[in-house]
Chains A and B, each alone.
Chain A
Amino acid sequence: MNLSMGVLPLSYFSQLPQKFYDAFIEKDRYLNITNGLGNTLLITFFAVIIGIILGTAIALVKVYHSNNKKKLKILNGICSVYLTVIRGTPVVVQLMIMWYIILQPTNLDRIVAAILAFGINSGAYVAEVIRSGIQSVDKGQIEAGRSLGLNQRDTMIKIVFPQALKNVLPAIGNEFIALLKETSVAGYIAIQDLTKGGDIIRSITYDPYTPLLIVALTYLLIVLGLTSLLNKFERRLSRSDYR
């Protein structure tokens, strides 16, 4: 075994079946990958939900405040600080602060810490995307809604949001794909996610190629799946664009 070799040795291919067996079949090592994938998907899924809720709430506060500077002053200030801090610090640092400092006194699971950290991180980016989406809707749309007697809330829900959603869907999709990949740093607080799972196999078999390439391929397949799902959704929302 030549550990110092950086490039893929040709002999690797002739040994592939054995390498594959060592990496995944021997002692059920594939469980590192499948359990890791489970954790990655779990963290991403709930972080996305937190991100959407938090991001929408913050976007609403910011839009409402920018329409009427006198209202929601304090809340808007809090949101601005949040956006600055979250976008100004690395997500790994936020993750470690969440686990080693904020959740230290609690009995919560590491996964919860990761969900919270990634969700709160994602919320900041989603907020800016949604805010720009809401503000991209023509002012005349709001005026038309209000002139019919709809209140501010109904006008937003029925008229502005559906149009904003269509405008921001590509950007939101990107954000969630990025989030999925960002969760690969969850290993920093000793969570066995997909990346960590591959890394564990690597440290057992001393073969980096097989587990890490499989990990990369797994991420790629998930992202491809998400992309096609988003495209489908986008097409459905753009029904009203066809002449």
Chain B
Amino acid sequence: MITVKNLHKTFNTINGEINVLKGIDQEIEKGEKVVIVGPSGSGKSTFLRCLNLLEQPTSGEVWFEGTQINVPDCDINKLRQKMGMVFQHFNLFPHLTVLQNITLAPVMLKLKTQKEAEEQAVHLLERVGLADKASAYPVQLSGGQKQRIAIVRALAMNPDVMLFDEPTSALDPEMVDEVLQVMKELANEGMTMVVVTHEMGFAREVANRVLFMDDGRVLEEAAPDDFFNNPQNPRLQDFLSKVL
């Protein structure tokens, strides 16, 4: 479903060039749940953001459903409709109600009428237990509620894959579970998911494959059992000894 070939990303800053991604090759199948872990600054968020071109790769190829997306003549807006994204800081639209947040894109892009979009939104809100918040503004919600709304907003586009960029990192500890619960349900329904997270429990429970990234490279990838119980790379062994 997503194929990444020799992906490089370099940021030009005032302090010179920073090589964030140093050649990544990945193949993500339909229905697969891939969890990416690694220390801060290892490039995992940048890698995720390259998948829907929020970051433009410096070199290499990104393919989505048979189309190379990092070429100028690709209609990235069309493809992004099929790639939902959930951000660390939720990024709900503060000037719109919850319902408007969810229905904005499907209606603007003429995928649904306002009425259809609202019906679907209410249905999705019921699923995450927030139907009573439809007419609230984001400022009135807790972090966990905001993130569940953000997930619903992405789901309202009926995406083929969901990208999660540290979805629980900005949450109070007691709110982490309600978000992870929604993500687990999503995983059980067969959604293809790529998740950058520090939640090792989630990785162990949900992932088909866990990637360990450090210094712009994928140093190890394995099924969660092997990954956590039998890590090969010394850097990963060190990392796990600190976080588990």
Residues of chain A whose beta carbon lies under 8 Å from any beta carbon of chain B: 138, 140-141, 143-151, 154, 158-159, 162-163, 166, 239-243
Contacts and interface: CB of A to CB of B under 8 A. Distances in A.
Interface string B47-84: 00000101000000000000000000000011111011
Interface residues on B, range: 20 to 34
B114 to A, nearest CB: 14
A166 B108 CA distance: 22
Which residue, B80, B85, B94, has most C-beta atoms of chain A within 10 A?
B94
B91 A144 contact: yes
A240 B137 contact: yes
B96 interface: yes
Contacts of A154: 108
B93 A141 contact: yes
Contacts of A150: 77, 104-105, 108-109
A67 to B, nearest CB: 13
Contact of A144 (B78, B87, B95, B137): B87
Contact of B80 (A138, A149, A163, A243): A149
A149 B95 contact: no
B139 A149 contact: no
A173 B33 CA distance: 52
Nearest to B89: A140
Contacts of B137: 239-242
Contacts of B89: 140
Nearest to B140: A243
20 contacts: A144-B91, A144-B92, A144-B93, A146-B80, A147-B52, A147-B80, A147-B154, A148-B81, A149-B78, A149-B79, A149-B80, A149-B105, A154-B108, A159-B93, A162-B95, A240-B96, A241-B137, A242-B137, A242-B139, A242-B140
A190 to B, nearest CB: 47
A242 B81 CA distance: 32
A242 B150 CA distance: 20
A121 B138 CA distance: 39
B153 interface: yes
Interface of B: 52, 54, 77-81, 83-85, 87, 89, 91-97, 104-105, 108-109, 137-140, 150, 153-154, 157
Nearest to A138: B91
Contact of B81 (A141, A149, A243): A149
Contact of B94 (A146, A151, A240): A240
Contacts of B54: 143, 146-147
A159 to B, nearest CB: 6
B95 A148 contact: no
Contacts of A162: 95
The winner among B79, B95, B108 for most chain A CB atoms within 10 A is B95
A158 B85 contact: no
Contacts of A242: 137, 139-140
Contacts of A149: 77-81, 105, 109, 157
A158 B93 CA distance: 10
B141 to A, nearest CB: 10
B91 A141 contact: yes
Nearest to B81: A149
